[in-house]
Amino acid sequence: MPSIEERRARFRELHETANAFLMPNPYDVGTAQILSGLKFEALATTSAGHAFSLGYKDAEGFITREMAMLHAAEIVGATPLPVNGDLENGFGDSPDEVADTIEAAIEAGLAGCSIEDYSQNPEAPYYSLEHSVDRIRAAVETKNRIAPDFVLTARSEAPIANPDDLAEAIRRLQAFAEVGADCLYAPDLLRQEDITSVLGEIDKPLNLLAGRRHFNYTRKQLADMGVTRISIGAGLARVAYGAFVAASESIMDGGSFDVFGEAVGFKEFDSYLKGRKSGNLEG
């Protein structure tokens, strides 16, 4: 099992080339084991997937910092791969609260994390640029002091519906990069011309969110554009829950159990969990 330090170093290495490496998002220990067995290079938690698994809605304050860190530590302990943490707004508005979250993330064994500028306040959903930058600066100073290889991703969350929106996203990403963010992320980026515009205006790795509707690019196309990292967000969790609902509706409404002929077999599932008891997972 690689050490936490080795995983952080490996995670940083993955960001050094624009290779569009895949970083899927498990939502519990079992799904982390499956993704490890499939030989991905890195994993990430999903705040929405975690919330769904506990019966909560996403981004409504139900998941506390302590809950998120316990969940992250479980995922880290279930895989030899580097794990990135989806830590929403850092579980607090102030730079000091964000710094506390970064310390907790490092203690949990995460190889990196993302901090977003979405405030979760419906009356003012996005932090001002100045305050957003102060929050990222505090995160950078904290991780550089404790674990320099920890990869900090700064997220610009606002919708990108027109050229002004795109310009604002670029302005924020550039400002985050200037204060030391290692990776940049604007989840609403979708159109190729917008992606290439952002890539032409930043000098840090870009993460793109693929686990959503109408995302029709291949990994090769994204690599050719210059994208460094591809995450799935809650996409896999939504697929899993969608299949669960569809199967449940099928047996309720149709009275047929044919749907289970398409389910993963016990032997196939067990093959992904090889080494779980010994803690010697293959990755």
> Per mean pLDDT, which range of 63-67, 175-179, 196-200, 259-263 is the poorest?
259-263
What's the DSSP call for residue 254?
Answer: I
Express each pLDDT in 96-105 by its tens digit. Answer: 999 999 999 9
- How far is Cα 50 from Cα 38, in angstroms, rounded to an integer? 21
Q: Is the pLDDT of residue 157 over 50?
A: yes
pLDDT value for 72: 98
Q: How confident is the model at residue 216 (pLDDT cuts 50, 70, 90)?
A: very high
- How far is Cα 254 from Cα 239, in angstroms, rounded to an integer? 21
Give me the percent of the chain exceeding a pLDDT of 90. 86
What residue type is assigned to position 104 of the chain? A
Which residue, among 80, 63, 76, 47, has the nearest Cα to 209 in the 3D structure? 47
What is the residue extent of each domain of the chain? 4-272
Specify the CATH superfamily of domain 4-272: Phosphoenolpyruvate-binding domains (3.20.20.60)
Q: Is the pLDDT of residue 280 over 50?
A: no
CA distances from 255 to 240, 247, 249, 250 (A): 22, 11, 9, 7
**Helix/strand/coil for 155:** strand
Mean pLDDT of 186-201: 98
Express each pLDDT in 49-79 by its tens digit. Answer: 999 999 998 866 789 999 999 999 999 999 9
pLDDT value for 274: 61
Q: Is the pLDDT of residue 29 over 90?
A: yes
Record the tokens describing residue 148, joined without a space.
Answer: 């320099």
Q: Is the pLDDT of residue 283 over 90?
A: no
Token pair 């449940």 is found at 248
- How far is Cα 13 from Cα 107, in angstroms, rounded to an integer? 21
Spatial contact of 37 and 273, defined as CB atoms under 8 Å apart: yes
Q: Is the pLDDT of residue 5 over 50?
A: yes
Q: Is the pLDDT of residue 26 over 50?
A: yes
Spatial contact of 44 and 88, defined as CB atoms under 8 Å apart: no
Q: How confident is the model at residue 275 (pLDDT cuts 50, 70, 90)?
A: very low
For the residues of 93-119, what is the DSSP string, one character each? SSHHHHHHHHHHHHHTT-SEEEEESB-
130 backbone φψ class: left, alpha, beta (φ>0; ψ -120 to 50): alpha
Q: How confident is the model at residue 278 (pLDDT cuts 50, 70, 90)?
A: very low
